[in-house]
Structure 1
């Protein structure tokens, strides 16, 4: 018998490891519940709940092919070698198949498991699945990992022209194995079940992911470039949670986008091109994770920025976390996150810049808070986004480029529709006042809405001064 160990690849279709395992003979699947590891990685309760709900769907789909899904428990990944070795002995497993995951802990876990299994005579096979290109295969002329997205994308484009990643066939039904599937737990201790309202926003299962992908590709993708920055419009695909859990694959997304654009990714429909670009940004940040492991260790990508004099300001941090900064676009975005497990992408940048520049609070505080609340939390993308916004990362916003929450608000939520949806206490304000109630209401603003916790102009100057004091890369190199 052969075993597929499922992780962030909770789907039956286009699953490289599953297809490979099933070609070798009878297959069983296993999923490890690892609560202490999830806590250590700041995984959000709504994300864990989403995984479990998707596992229930997947268990049924696998069951229809007579592939049993087994559930095993290991507090942390350190116990994975023992737990999986034990299972392989019980079932007389010959080979274990996985789709590659990236990040320091993931790599260590997989090599420890491979070693333990091979000591028992079980072969361990891992496959490229959640990326188009193997990390280490898209490099600069000098053989290093790219640090600038546009250069990375150019190489990806030339590769895609010559070899488009193919979608993997779905396994056929196998003879019954006489091994029963385990019930999938509905909850895991330490991860409270989210509200029904939140769960209803994110139905589980491949059919739902496919429905969203098809609806987006058919109806929305052409408007993506123009509408994706407006949080009150349904301009985005709403697929990020499904991509993060592997309920849909980047290959399926790429093929759906290409289909709407006559197979083109550099010309034609600007919406499709822009969306494929976003898939490549996901790819870029995962390559960064492998090429520059320090970002997995909560270190800044640009080492010179480790010397930044971040403020210790627990009250300001709490106001940001609890959506009471007194800046409506920031508070509305944070409420969206707290209530739905998701935040519009443009607003992720706006609230991240506000925390790291206007409040001068360490980006790691924001990165952690996001991971603890995002249903689509993904180490590479979340870290990449936070470091981009805080000017500590790869290809990041230059430090002097600081979004003004007010101008972002006026530009991308001009009528205040998004703000009023999440901050009903501001519903009575007109579209000019809603962006800055303090200016509108004389001394008092709106009775039950807080005053701004920071002066935007002064705080911008403070951030610029802090960044100017940093040593340059050259100076750092001279001191080493």
Structure 2
């Protein structure tokens, strides 16, 4: 008997470990509930709810193949080896199959499980699945992990030219086993169920993920480069939550993009090339997790930036978290996050730079707040994005590059449509005033909208001074490798 231990790979199609297990013989699936660990990782209630809803859909599709889905509880990952060993003994499992996960806690958990099972003569197979390239296989000429995305991408392109990752066959129907699937819980203590309006935005299941991918590839990918930065337009694929939970694979996304671009990933339709680029950014940040484990430990990628004089400003942090900074594009973006579990990618950069540069608040505060609210929360992508924006990370924005929220707002939401959707109290302002109501003098019935909590130009100078005062990399013995 084979056991597939499901984690962030909640799909039946193109699932490497599931295909490998089913090829070897009768297969049972298991999913571990680990609420204590999820809380330590700041996983959002809407994300846990999304996982459970996807598990229920997956249980049905696996059930049609006679593959039972069992649910076990290991509150903390330290308990995973004992829980899985007990299940393997009960079912007389010969081998356990998993798709690799990245991050320091995930790696330690898997190593501990493998050791415990192998001591009992149960083999442990792990497979490359949530990435196109195995971490450690895309390296610089000196054998180190890349720190600059453009160089990483170049090597990925070379590898893709040589061989394209293929899609895995979905398993066929197996003979019925005398094992019943367990019910998937609808709620987990400590993770309140989100409202119906949020859940309705993110239907569960592979069919929905494939529908989104197909719609995007058929109708929108051509406009992706030109429209992805405008938050009022439906310019993005809306697939990030499905990718994070593994309801769809990066291989499926890559193949769909190639199909609408005559098999090209470097040339042809600029929208498809740009979107494939985003898949490679996702890849890059996961490789960074493995190559530079300090980023899994809430450490800055650039060690010299640990000395930054961040402000302890709880009132400013609360205003940012609660969407009352007095800067409409920031507040509208934060309301989008709070109400939908998602934020437009351009706005993730704008609000992150505002927090870390204009408010000079530690990026880790923002990283944690995002993880606690994002339905697509992913350690690698979230950490990578926050460290890029705060100039503490890999390939990061130079510290003197600070987005001005007003000019970003005027450029990417020129008519104020996004702002007015999320801040209806500003609906009466014209398209010039809506970006900066303070300049309108409060004459337009917006008394309930706050004044800006910070002066943008003065706070920019404060941030530049803080970064200039950092000790140099050379004096700290910090190398670029």
Verify same fold: TM over 0.5. yes
State the TM-score bracket (shorter-chain normalisation): over 0.9
Name the structure 1 match of 2:237. Answer: 237
Name the structure 1 match of 2:199. Answer: 199
Q: Distance in 1 between matches of 2:327 and 2:122?
A: 58
- Offset, 1:208: 0.1
Name the structure 2 match of 1:465. Answer: 465
Contact 1:445–1:451 under 8 Å retained in 2: no
**1:431-473: CA deviation from partner (whole Å, max 9, x where unpaired):** 0000000001258982110000000000000000000000111
Name the structure 1 match of 2:28. Answer: 28
SS of the residue corresponding to residue 477 of structure 2 reads helix
SS of the residue corresponding to residue 435 of structure 1 reads coil
Q: Distance in 2 between matches of 1:449 and 1:419?
A: 13
Are 1:93 and 2:84 counterparts?
Answer: no
Contact 1:243–1:250 under 8 Å retained in 2: yes
Q: Distance in 1 between matches of 2:267 and 2:73?
A: 48
Contact 2:428–2:444 under 8 Å retained in 1: no
Unpaired runs of 5+ residues, structure 1, are: none
Are 1:392 and 2:392 counterparts?
Answer: yes
Name the structure 1 match of 2:436. Answer: 436
- Offset, 1:477: 1.2
Task: Please report the RMSD computed on the Cα atoms of aligned residues, expressed in angstroms.
Answer: 1.0
Q: Distance in 2 between matches of 1:268 and 1:472?
A: 43
Name the structure 2 match of 1:111. Answer: 111
List aligned pairs for 1:66-465, cutoff 5 A: 66-441=66-441, 446-465=446-465
Unpaired runs of 5+ residues, structure 2, are: none
Contact 1:99–1:128 under 8 Å retained in 2: yes
- Offset, 1:478: 8.5
Are 1:12 and 2:32 counterparts?
Answer: no
Q: Distance in 2 between matches of 1:16 and 1:194?
A: 32
Q: Distance in 2 between matches of 1:445 and 1:454?
A: 22
Q: Distance in 2 between matches of 1:457 and 1:94?
A: 64
Q: Distance in 2 between matches of 1:228 and 1:328?
A: 20
Greater shift, 364-373 or 112-121, is seen at: 112-121
Moved over 3 A (4+): 442-445
SS of the residue corresponding to residue 434 of structure 2 reads helix
Q: How many residues align?
A: 479
Name the structure 2 match of 1:38. Answer: 38
**1:53-72: CA deviation from partner (whole Å, max 9, x where unpaired):** 00000000000000000000
> Structure 1 length as normaliser, TM-score?
0.99
> Structure 2 length as normaliser, TM-score?
0.99
Q: Distance in 2 between matches of 1:116 and 1:40?
A: 24
Closer/same/farther in 2, CA of residues 88 and 442 from structure 1, 3 Å limit: closer
Contact 2:429–2:444 under 8 Å retained in 1: no
